[in-house]
Structure 1
Amino acid sequence: MSGSDQLRQLLSKKIPKSAVNYAVELWEKEPFSFKATASRKTKLGDFRYRRDRKIQTITINADLNPYQFLLTYIHEIAHLHAFVRFGITIAPHGPEWKSTFQQLLIPLLSTDFFPIDILIPLRKHMKNPKASSARDLFLMKEMSKYDEKSINSQIIFLSDVKPGNRFLLSGREFEKGETRRTRVLCQEVNSGKKYLIAQLAKVKPISD
């Protein structure tokens, strides 16, 4: 089985079927080693250009829903294409990467590939894409609707907890305070210490 056939087989289980041909075509233009990995808390996918390797490696968290997996796949390929085209001295998420990401995703910005509720914030996001789609609250909320249902359906985004209410995060109890841009100042109940926590952190609310 060829490399493209292996990739097609893997991607057909991970992304919308309508996008598989395009995703494989991108690999054929600039081949790379690809792996679906165990979930990582700090990132959805990863690409690092290594001078000593002829074939570069892209990894993506295997537990992402099909639309998040597809977006992350294009995001990481944009890194590869940008480094190949502009050289390895460019900033990882600078203008060269942004323009490359935009060009690669344009063919997919239709309801043939993404449902309309994701497509609306995605189109807005792509006007000036961030280093991670996980920083875009509106987009991630719409994306999360397509996650596999959590065993605990009580898990919600911190942004949906009302100020003053308490919640659990990693087994620790916090009280939500004021929101500062993309993060929320929260106080840990036991220690009294305050922490800035991402609005998109998934937490379990504590009912009164």
Structure 2
Amino acid sequence: MQEILAKYIPQAAVEPTFELIKTNNVYLKIVNERVTRHGDYRKTPNGQHQITVNANLNKYRFLITLIHEIAHLVAFSKFGRNIKPHGKEWKHSFTMLMLPYIRPEIFPSQLLPLLAIHFKNPRASSDTDAKLSLALKQYDAPNDKNYIFEIPPGGLFRLYNGKIFKRGNKRVKRYECLEVSTGRMYLFNPNAEVEFLHS
């Protein structure tokens, strides 16, 4: 298991992460990319704690995602199954589990202050933290995608599901985008990755 982990997370994180997996009796599955999520946790009918994480994540995002999912397991075990999935119990568990990892042996120095801010009140997805998400993206393999905020106003873009949108104005934090085929308006996070078609 440690050799497998070493392919996906920073070397200095392998030993403590392996211990976390063992201690919490986690069955870890590394799966092909799912566009709607980076990972998930579920308790199987036979009582096994199964965590899946996308194989295509860079090593820093993979580590954050894995700890995020272990935090669900820990929060449910400690506080019961009736808590909110991303409520205060999960936030506390996630922060406590992540603290030992927020150090320069594991994360690049430019990520450390962003992680420190993020873990004061972690969100359901690191993708909704625009600064952290952008910083983590630098470590991804190159792709041909653009962020919503990079699309010019009125520009057309395509989602992974083939739907085409026209970028509108920015509301407080998100962008209004018109689905071309239906005329319906949707809100997008500025750092959502899309395929730019043309202005």
State the TM-score, normalizing by the size of structure 1.
0.86
Read off the aligned partner of 2:196 and give its amino acid letter: P
Per-residue CA distance 1:122-150 (angstroms, 9 max, x = gap): 11110000111111111111111100111
The Cα shift of 1:105 comes to: 0.5
Shift in Å at residue 17 of structure 1?
A: 0.8
Counterpart contact for 2:8–2:62, Cα < 8 Å: yes
From 14, 32, 39, the equivalent of 1:38 is: 32
Q: Is the 8 A contact 1:33 1:55 kept in 2?
A: yes
User: SS state of the match for residue 47, structure 2?
Assistant: coil
Q: Distance in 2 between matches of 1:15 and 1:99?
A: 23
8 Å CA contact retained: 1:135, 1:182 = no
Amino acid in structure 2 at the alignment position of 1:178: N
Question: Against the structure 1 CA distance between its residues 82 and 111, is the aligned structure 2 distance closer, same or farther, given a 3 Å change threshold?
Answer: same
Whether 2:9 is the aligned partner of 1:20: answer no
- Does 2:186 align with 1:195? yes
Query: What aligned pairs does 1:1-208 form with structure 2 within 5 A after superposition?
Result: 7-50=1-44, 52-150=45-143, 152=144, 155-162=145-152, 164-170=153-159, 171-189=162-180, 192-206=183-197
The superposition leaves residues 5-43 of structure 1 with CA deviations (integer Å, 9 ceiling, x where unpaired) of xx2121110011110001001112111111011111111
Shift of 1:172: 4.9
Q: Say if 1:185 and 1:196, in contact at 8 Å, map to a contact too.
A: yes
Q: Identity across aligned pairs (percent)? A: 37
2:157–2:198: 8 Å Cα contact kept in structure 1? no
Work out the CA distance in 2 between the residues paired with 1:80 and 1:188. 38
Change (3 A) 1:91 1:165: same
SS for the counterpart of 1:100 is helix
User: 1:207 Cα deviation (Å)?
Assistant: 5.2
- Structure 1: distance between partners of 2:81 and 2:180: 46
Post-superposition Cα deviations, 1:146-188, rounded to whole Å, max 9, x if no partner, equal: 00111x3xx22102334x2403213554332122344311124
| Greater Cα shift, 98-107 or 164-173 | 164-173
Structure 2 length-normalised TM = 0.89
Gaps of 5+ in 1: 1-6
**Alpha-carbon shift at residue 86 of structure 1 (Å):** 1.6
Deviations 1:29-75 (A, max 9, x none): 1111110111111111001235x433210000111000000000111
Where does structure 2 lack aligned partners over 5 or more consecutive residues? none
